[in-house]
Amino acid sequence: MIGALVIFLVTGAFLSHQISERLFNDRLEQVLTQSETDFTQVQANFDASDAADRDQLQTLVTATLDALDSDTSTSQRRWLLIPLSSSTGQSLLPAQAESDWMTSATVPQDLQNRVAGDAGTYWQSSSVRLEDGGVPVPVVIVGKVVEPQPGARYGLYLVNDFSQPQQTLDAIHAVLILSTLVQALLVSGVVGYVTREVVRPVSTTARVSESLADGNLGVRMEVEGSHEVARLGRSFNRMADNLEDQITRLERLSSMQQTFVSDVSHELRTPLTTVRMAAEVLHNAREDFDPVNRRSAELLYNQVDRFDTLLADLLEISRFDAGAARLDISGTNIFALVNEVLEATAPLAANNGSVVRVHSDLQRCIVQMDQRRIDRILRNLLVNALEHGEGRPTDVVVRASDVAVGIAVRDHGIGMTEEQTRKVFDRFWRADPARARTTGGTGLGLSIAVEDTRLHGGRLDAWGEPGEGACFRLTLPLLRSRPLNDDDVSPVELPPQDDELPSVAVVTDTGTFAAVPLDRDSVIAPVTDSIPVVGDTERTDAEELEAPGDDRVDGSADATPAGGSGPDAHAAVGGGLDLSPAEPQPQRSSGPSVLDAAGLDGPAARHPVLRPAIGGEFLTTAEVSQTGVDGTYLSEAEEMRPSAVSIDPVDVSSGEANGDADQTHDELNTTDDGLNKTYDELNKTYDKLNKTYDELDESYDDLDEAYEDLYLDDTGELPTFREATWADSTGTPDVSGDAPEARGGTEATHATEQTGDTREH
């Protein structure tokens, strides 16, 4: 519409200019012709006159010029007679005009100069009052030189009225403007009507599409007529019908699938509980079976455990699909939670021969989260890294920013392709379906981890490179009220760069780990004191061999995970940290040790193994495990057998062994005798434990009867069925839940497998 209005305005202006120019030129041509005729007539009258004096000349001029107004063919006109400075006549007349109010100033000076300088006829437009007391009107003044007497030169100026052409032009302008406005309004109305008729169906289609996008599947377009727009509306309605049918069927199918999974999972709980109890009975009595039946009982027990895990995962997935998953938010120290996860996965790290190195620039970071769900995510990521790390080191990086905390788990194993990285969070997807499921994986762990992360308003990202390893990064908001958005950057890179890792490390090797600060100015710190490690239980007095006066390193409560410190491993990283020599531990004589497998023997085997850390420093870890110092996890039957005890002393100062070897050997022999005596006492305690175990079996039937009432809680998950009870060396029951193999290398009892991890029944 605006464009049409502009076009009309331009056209009207052009027409107005053309019309006004044509009217002016026609009138000017008429005036010039008439003026030339009048000039000729006036000069002829002057030439024919014989006036001799001034009065006669004045009479001649007045009569001749007044005769010009008698011509009825011309409009209103006035004349002026102005003497020129070049006049030489003796009877010169003064300047005079037809009207008294008109003077020589009425004629523009430019026109006077041109008339005086040449004998031609000249004209110029101006504005002059033609009536006394009137308003100025547009005029054209035409001038030429006349001589009433020879030598008496005068400028004769005829003032021609142009008000009539101007009035005509004004009327034409008014008509043009009015017609332009009327045409613009008409065109605007037509354009608006046509546009509305064309755009209205499109606007309706847009509104209906937005309504469909909002979930209103029943909305449709109103179709009228048979034009192209109507065809578009009918096609759109058919598309909406098909979409509604497809979405309805998919929703119904999804609801049926969710109901099926939930119902089947719940229905299988009851028979699975019965099968589990029967499997536990068979597993506990497997020593009385022949080898074939014993192996069958073990397989049945393990597969029932895996089946139970699968059902728990399916129930969790069904909660996510139904939107019934809820968070139990509490402020939790993320660093302490990472340490707890490392402690729980330490046996797997030992079995795989992997070193877990935790790097962080903080020791305390409170995050509002559901501790159970985040613990499940971290366990899943770390177990996957250990399973696929091929025995290489696994790195865990913890960093925080003002709004988020990031945890990256990086392995250096087989890695993943780009396609595998895109599918890694799909349900029941496995990179290698033929891979042995050593830890009972169901293919749902990462899917559940993603859903748990979304509930927290965080992100879970994956990276992989074949042959380089894989990395999973968990990013969580610090506050529940402030979820992460697209502009928030994770504090941890994906994958984290080796040369930018923080200067705190937690090392897990052969079942133990320790948190120590790194000093990049040194390689190996002097070892003068012990350091607390996580995953070990309290030691006996015979094993506590710290040097007098040395103080044990005491980290912050958040930096040292729950579980206390233990003697099974020692680490020294960075300068300025004093560690004591590793205490002698009972070591089994049977079975190859980690040092033997590495080709270390003799004095070299009696010192910590040096491993390069990511940041360029060296990590030192003692070659011990939770079960035995040789780093080998023994089966329950093997742990029940008595074995010889040997001592591996470690005395390191500034990276080198020192002291007199003979004196050290004598001291070690003395210590060996003390440990052998302690070992005999532990064997006596073992008999008491067996008796206690028999009493536990007798109460097992009572627990079975109460199991029906306990087995399902409000969340659909099974509570812990029972806790194993251990006895210390004095025979006093210990309800801490720590297995005997974590206590100074003693043998595991028959209940080891029941307390090796926390199960949900």
Average the pLDDT over 268-294 and give the result: 87
> What's the mean pLDDT when you consider all of the chain?
68
pLDDT at 421 over 80: yes
Residue 348 near residue 342 (C-beta atoms within 8 A): no
pLDDT at 401 over 50: yes
pLDDT tens-digit map of 717-732 = 444 433 333 334 344 4
- How sure is the predictor about 621, in pLDDT bands with cuts at 50, 70 and 90? very low
Could you tell me the two tokens for 63?
Answer: 């009569």
- How sure is the predictor about 471, in pLDDT bands with cuts at 50, 70 and 90? very high
- How sure is the predictor about 205, in pLDDT bands with cuts at 50, 70 and 90? confident
Q: How far is CA 732 from CA 149, 564, 627, 735, 750, in A?
A: 158, 20, 22, 10, 18
Q: What is the pLDDT of residue 441?
A: 60
- How sure is the predictor about 474, in pLDDT bands with cuts at 50, 70 and 90? very high
Residue 474, classified by CB atoms within 10 Å of its CB into exposed (0-12), middle (13-18) or buried (19+), is buried
Q: Cα-flanking dihedrals φ and ψ of residue 652, to 5°?
A: -125, 135
Average the pLDDT over 108-116 and give the result: 87
Work out the percent of the chain whose per-residue pLDDT is above 70. Answer: 62
- How sure is the predictor about 491, in pLDDT bands with cuts at 50, 70 and 90? confident
3 state DSSP class of 521? coil
Average the pLDDT over 87-98 and give the result: 68
Please count the CA atoms within 13 angstroms of the CA of 326 that sit on its side-chain side.
5
pLDDT tens-digit map of 640-665 = 333 333 333 333 333 333 445 555 55
Range in 71-75, 258-262, 547-551, 710-714 the model is least confident about: 547-551
Domains of the chain: 2-170 (3.30.450.20), 228-320 (1.10.287.130)
Could you tell me the two tokens for 562?
Answer: 């729950």
Residue keyed to tokens 């009870």? 725
pLDDT at 442 over 70: no
Partners of 139 in the β-ladder: 126, 161
* Sequence-ordered list of residues with C-beta below 8 angstroms from that of 460, at least 6 positions apart, any chain: 377, 425, 446, 449, 450, 453, 472, 473, 474, 475
- How sure is the predictor about 742, in pLDDT bands with cuts at 50, 70 and 90? very low
**Phi-psi category of 210—alpha, beta or left, where left has phi over 0 and alpha has psi -120 to 50?**
alpha
Amino acid type, 524: I
The residue among 215 and 570 whose pLDDT is bigger is: 215
Rank 4-8, 107-111, 603-607 by mean pLDDT and report only the highest. 107-111
pLDDT tens-digit map of 572-593 = 333 333 333 333 333 333 333 3
Average the pLDDT over 151-160 and give the result: 86
* Sequence-ordered list of residues with C-beta below 8 angstroms from that of 736, at least 6 positions apart, any chain: 537, 726
What is the C-alpha to C-alpha distance for residues 637 and 645, in angstroms, rounded to an integer?
18
What is the C-alpha to C-alpha distance for residues 707 and 719, in angstroms, rounded to an integer?
10
Q: What is the pLDDT of residue 305?
A: 80
What is the C-alpha to C-alpha distance for residues 130 and 477, in angstroms, rounded to an integer?
91
pLDDT at 389 over 60: yes
E-strand ranges in 385-519 read 394-400, 404-411, 459-465, 469-477, 504-509, 512-517
What is the C-alpha to C-alpha distance for residues 140 and 76, in angstroms, rounded to an integer?
12
E-strand ranges in 271-361 read 329-333, 355-360
pLDDT at 531 over 60: no
